[in-house]
A and B are shown apart, each in its own frame.
Chain A
Amino acid sequence: MTDDSRRVIVDIKGVAKHYGDGEARVDALRNVDLRVHAGEVVALLGPSGSGKTTLLNIIGCIIDPSEGQVSLDGEMVYDGKWLRGDLRRLRLDKIGFIFQAHNLLPFLNATDNVALVLQLAGKTPAQAQARAQELLDYLEVGHRARAMPALLSGGEAQRVAIARALANSPRIILADEPTAALDSKRAGIVMDLLRKLSSEQDACIIAVTHDEKILDRFDRLFHLRDGRLENDKGDTP
């Protein structure tokens, strides 16, 4: 799956992020380069405070890098400044998020949690409901479509969250500890599902994880140490 001839979806060059100035300056990321291809599932590893979430936030267009370039799905989106005025729309079109604690909206049922993203993107309620049901069926939680999040098991809730992340067929799926709330069996199932989705939808998946039991399910592992990125061979990617 590391065939470099495949299309590059995430291309980051020389990205740095620092907070504060002078003696109070903290370098969260230093000169990070990262290329992730379509269909790839990669993991960001590292101790707390190493910069994993900062990198995920930069790829997700949530925070600005201090330096460097960010290209997503062939479009240069950051080069010293954001090149797109509407980052919200960029996230809606290109990026899906999967959270550690699923973060489903508690006042919407499973279908509506998925349909909301589609409606935000401009689909009619009927189209959004139909596509949401299709995704839930695909992820084998279609029978729980009308259930409220509080009534879903951890595995079911995470599948609904994955369906929500996939709703607009994003090219990039960012996952923050996607299996942290699951037991090892369910964690394996979710990872197999993510691999299958990345392959079928030609999307890349970048996951922050501490879960060693699932590391064999990733195509590549990247370690962040003191804000520097290294691959599983210890080289800078």
Chain B
Amino acid sequence: MNLAFRDVRHNLFRFLLTCLGLGLLMTVVLAMMGIYNGLVADALNIVKAPQADLWVVEAETQGPFAEASKIPGDTRDAVARLHGVAQAGSITYQTVEAPFEGATLRLYVIGYERGRLGGPQTIIRGRGLEASHFELVADAKTGLVPGDTLILGRNRFTVVGLVRDTMNSGGDPAVFLTLADAQVLQTQLAPPAARVQAARGASVTSGATVAAVIARLDPNVDAQNVAHTVRQWKHLSALTQAEQEDILIKSVVDKARKQIGLFLGILLTVSAVVIALIIYTMTMEKLKQIATLKLIGASDRVIIGLIVQQSLALGAVGLTLGLGLILTVKDYFPRRVLLEPVNALALAGIILVVCVLASGLGVRAALKVDPATALGG
């Protein structure tokens, strides 16, 4: 006869209510895990999307994701001529705000050369850029759909296609423009003093610059060797794909990652305390019944089983509810919530340990109960 199950069945509503509370807590924990994963995945997506092997950037900078990088627009030709380079493409990045249907969209604009590296990888709806100007491909998170039009700078752009999961480390969804449009946009959004100079006919450097040149190398070519060659050029530097990803994680995402990690730690501690408190209270409410069980001859194993099994059931149902809830609502979060099976398994492991430790408090109280308590007097 399973006493834990019978007790749960007898107080089913209260048990489920407690599980629901715990489930909501688990939802928050899983959401934090998902946001953390999403943050890293989004940041890496943007750098992985061009499928480049080499990033040529401004000297003494860490590339366009960590700090501002401006290199001459003709750098791509020089890079493309290097031995071992299969393809090269110029690319620009900038964050803009654009009005759309009464709201303001914050967008991460990626300018690339059509037919070269750096464009959208998989179009989930519509098509890629075909015209030289005034078309854009947007991430689905922008809420834009093919056919929508949007004013960027002084020009109206038409959305022709959608991509998924393309955003910067700040969570701003990306839009892809042709490099020419993106450079014009940089000029139009440049500081007023620069615009005045441009009106006077002075050279407009921003229009001729790009953030980076990306290159795909021939098979069996060592990226470090090519990077070494580029670093010998004046005003330029080069990063391999691995170095670029590493910089992105360490310098851009790291603080946010630590912040979320710390918050996750606090949440798990709170969850552990809550679980311990619930189990301890559940045990204290049953002390008279435990005394009766001891008096009629129940072994310590039976009593420990009653408490530990209920504790594990509470953790398991709470975790299942939490998992169900986060999977239901994760797409409504403004930032991507990316849950991997390993997260659920890790949390299940943590909850298992917490439940066993927490039930230790209840078990301790239960084993100290004097069977004479059942007799009274």
A106 touching B374, Cβ below 8 Å: no
Q: Quick one: closest B residue to A61, CB to CB? A: B371
Looking at A1-9, A72-80, A118-126, the stretch in contact with chain B turns out to be A118-126
B293 touching A105, Cβ below 8 Å: yes
Looking at A11-19, A109-117, A136-144, A186-194, the stretch in contact with chain B turns out to be A109-117
Q: 8 Å CB contacts to A: which residues of B254-300?
A: 288-289, 292-299
Most chain A C-beta atoms within 10 Å of own C-beta, residue among B9, B293, B302, B377: B377
Chain B residue total in the interface (Cβ 8 A):
25
Is A197 an interface residue, CB under 8 A from the partner? Answer: no
Residues A62 and B376 in contact in the complex (CB < 8 Å), given A107-B10, A108-B6, A116-B1: no
Q: Quick one: closest A residue to B4, CB to CB? A: A107
Q: 8 Å CB contacts to A: which residues of B284-340?
A: 288-289, 292-299, 302
A148 touching B375, Cβ below 8 Å: no
Kindly supply a per-residue 1/0 record for chain B positions 1-33, scoring 1 wherever the CB is within 8 Å of any chain A CB and 0 otherwise: 101001101110000000000000000000000
Q: What B residues does A164 contact at CB under 8 A?
A: 296
Is B370 an interface residue, CB under 8 A from the partner? Answer: yes
Is B353 an interface residue, CB under 8 A from the partner? Answer: no
A112 touching B376, Cβ below 8 Å: no
Q: What B residues does A81 contact at CB under 8 A?
A: none
Is A230 an interface residue, CB under 8 A from the partner? Answer: no
Question: Whole-angstrom distance between the alpha carbons of A125 and B297 in the complex?
Answer: 17
Q: What A residues does B7 contact at CB under 8 A?
A: 107
Which one of B293, B297, B302, B374 contacts A99 once the chains associate, using CB atoms below 8 Å?
B374
Question: Whole-angstrom distance between the alpha carbons of A62 and B1 in the complex?
Answer: 25
B10 touching A112, Cβ below 8 Å: no
B297 touching A57, Cβ below 8 Å: no
B297 touching A91, Cβ below 8 Å: yes
B51 CB to closest chain A CB, in angstroms? 61
B6 touching A62, Cβ below 8 Å: no
Is B190 an interface residue, CB under 8 A from the partner? Answer: no
A62 touching B295, Cβ below 8 Å: yes
Q: Quick one: closest A residue to B377, CB to CB? A: A53
Q: What A residues does B377 contact at CB under 8 A?
A: 52-54, 56, 176, 208
A112 touching B6, Cβ below 8 Å: yes
- Say whether chain B's binding surface is mostly helix, strand, loop, or mixed: helix
B304 CB to closest chain A CB, in angstroms? 14
Is B49 an interface residue, CB under 8 A from the partner? Answer: no
Q: What B residues does A105 contact at CB under 8 A?
A: 3, 289, 292-293
B376 touching A121, Cβ below 8 Å: no
Question: Whole-angstrom distance between the alpha carbons of A172 and B79 in the complex?
Answer: 98
Is A145 an interface residue, CB under 8 A from the partner? Answer: no
Q: 8 Å CB contacts to B: which residues of A185-218?
A: 208
A62 touching B371, Cβ below 8 Å: yes
A62 touching B296, Cβ below 8 Å: no
Question: Whole-angstrom distance between the alpha carbons of A114 and B292 in the complex?
Answer: 13
Question: Whole-angstrom distance between the alpha carbons of A165 and B375 in the complex?
Answer: 13
Most chain B C-beta atoms within 10 Å of own C-beta, residue among A92, A105, A125: A105
Which one of A62, A88, A148 contacts B370 once the chains associate, using CB atoms below 8 Å?
A62
Is B372 an interface residue, CB under 8 A from the partner? Answer: yes
Which one of A53, A106, A112, A120 contacts B297 once the chains associate, using CB atoms below 8 Å?
A120
A53 touching B375, Cβ below 8 Å: yes
B9 touching A107, Cβ below 8 Å: yes
Is A100 an interface residue, CB under 8 A from the partner? Answer: yes
Which one of A56, A107, A116 contacts B375 once the chains associate, using CB atoms below 8 Å?
A56
Which one of A97, A115, A116 contacts B295 once the chains associate, using CB atoms below 8 Å?
A97
A63 touching B372, Cβ below 8 Å: yes
Is A84 an interface residue, CB under 8 A from the partner? Answer: no
Q: What A residues does B370 contact at CB under 8 A?
A: 62
Q: What B residues does A148 contact at CB under 8 A?
A: 10
Kindly supply a per-residue 1/0 record for chain B positions 187-231, scoring 1 wherever the CB is within 8 Å of any chain A CB and 0 otherwise: 000000000000000000000000000000000000000000000
Question: Whole-angstrom distance between the alpha carbons of A88 and B371 in the complex?
Answer: 10
Q: 8 Å CB contacts to B: which residues of A120-175?
A: 120-121, 125, 148, 164
Q: What B residues does A62 contact at CB under 8 A?
A: 295, 370-372, 375
Q: What B residues does A31 contact at CB under 8 A?
A: none
- Known pairs A52-B377, A101-B376, A116-B1; list 16 more (Cβ under 8 Å): A54-B377, A62-B370, A63-B372, A88-B294, A97-B374, A99-B376, A103-B289, A105-B3, A105-B289, A107-B11, A108-B3, A108-B6, A112-B1, A117-B297, A121-B297, A176-B375
Q: Give chain A's interface residues, CB within 8 Å of chain B.
A: 52-54, 56-57, 60, 62-63, 88-89, 91-92, 97, 99-101, 103, 105-108, 112, 115-117, 119-121, 125, 148, 164, 176-177, 208
Sampled A-B contacts (16; CB under 8 Å): A56-B375, A62-B372, A62-B375, A88-B294, A89-B297, A92-B296, A99-B376, A103-B374, A105-B293, A107-B10, A115-B1, A119-B1, A120-B297, A125-B1, A148-B10, A208-B377
The 7 closest A-B pairs by CB, nearest first: A92-B297, A53-B377, A107-B10, A107-B7, A103-B292, A107-B6, A62-B372
Q: Give chain B's interface residues, CB within 8 Å of chain A.
A: 1, 3, 6-7, 9-11, 288-289, 292-299, 302, 370-372, 374-377
